[in-house]
Amino acid sequence: MAPPGNLVVPVAVLLLLLSGAPWTHGRRSDVRIITDENWKELLEGEWMIEFYAPWCPACQNLQPEWESFAEWGEDLEVNVAKVDVTEQPGLSGRFIITALPTIYHCKDGEFRRYQGPRTKKDFINFISEKEWKNIEPVSSWFGPGSILMSSMSALFQLSMWIRTCHNYFIEDLGLPVWGSYTVFALATLLSGLLLGLCMIFVADCLCPSKRRRPQPYPSKKLFPESSQPLKKVEEEQEADEEDVSEEEAENKEGTNKDFSQNAIRQRSVGPSLATDKF
């Protein structure tokens, strides 16, 4: 039988291992979680952000290196964060994530895409040696805070909401696939009609149609200086009308004389033709 003193050391080692195992596995991660609610924190300070998905094998391989790099965040004065694109589709559209994993560096609101090696050492050198200065920042038009990217974020959120509704119609309500598509088609038509009516109403309010009104004649009292030329024009028109009326009267008198002379001639010629017949 072994003496009790020889069992002290193995028991102490076993207790240390048992007490240290939960601490190592339950250790709090230094990686911060970014969501649609707190993403504006990225606009201040220096950040390294990873966009990942749980089902992505490359993202799973990167996690140990990213966790180790986060332990150096306090020494390097950089915040290490990650975004799950499956739970935050709005941020996926805001940053235009087309490949996984995608890593961004942010310094005082300027975003740069990291495309170097994905190891702990490379991440540390990228921050400590300020290699990010050699990368052109993202244009302000495509920055996550721009109107364009905010619209993209809303579009991605809408697509995720539509997908959730589609799954709800099929799985929970038991509708066929074509029934779900019919519901979305009707909703699209109704929303288009309502949007068109709203646009017409806004256009009428901003740019009302102007009806043509008859232009009033200039009054003689308001324009005393211009009344004299108007009087001259009226007098000339009256004189022309009088001349025309005199000419018409003369023409009528001439035609009446000619008509009477012709009638007299016909009367005088008539009896002579009768005597010639006899």
Q: Do 135 and 111 meet the contact criterion of CB atoms below 8 Å apart? A: no
Q: What share of the chain is helix, strand, coil (3-state, %, to 5)?
A: 65, 10, 25
> Has 106 been annotated as catalytic?
no
**Domain extent listing, the chain:** 32-134, 147-205
Tokens encoding 163: 């997908």
Average pLDDT on 132-161 reads 80
User: Exposure pattern of 116-143 as b/e (b: 16+ CB <10 Å)?
Assistant: eebebeebbebbeeeebeebebbeeeeb
Superfamily of domain 32-134: Glutaredoxin (3.40.30.10)
Q: Virtual CA dihedral for 66, 71, 72, 74, nearest 10 degrees?
A: 120
207 given a catalytic annotation? no
pLDDT in tens, 97-143: 888 999 999 998 899 999 999 999 999 999 999 999 999 998 878 77
Kindly name the residue from 59, 106, 165, 198 that is annotated as catalytic: 59
Per-residue pLDDT tens over the stretch 45-86: 999 999 999 999 999 999 999 999 999 999 999 999 999 998
> 148, 142 in Cβ contact below 8 A?
yes
Catalytic residue among 56, 106, 205, 207: 56
Its pTM stands at: 0.56
Mean predicted lDDT score pLDDT of the chain? 75
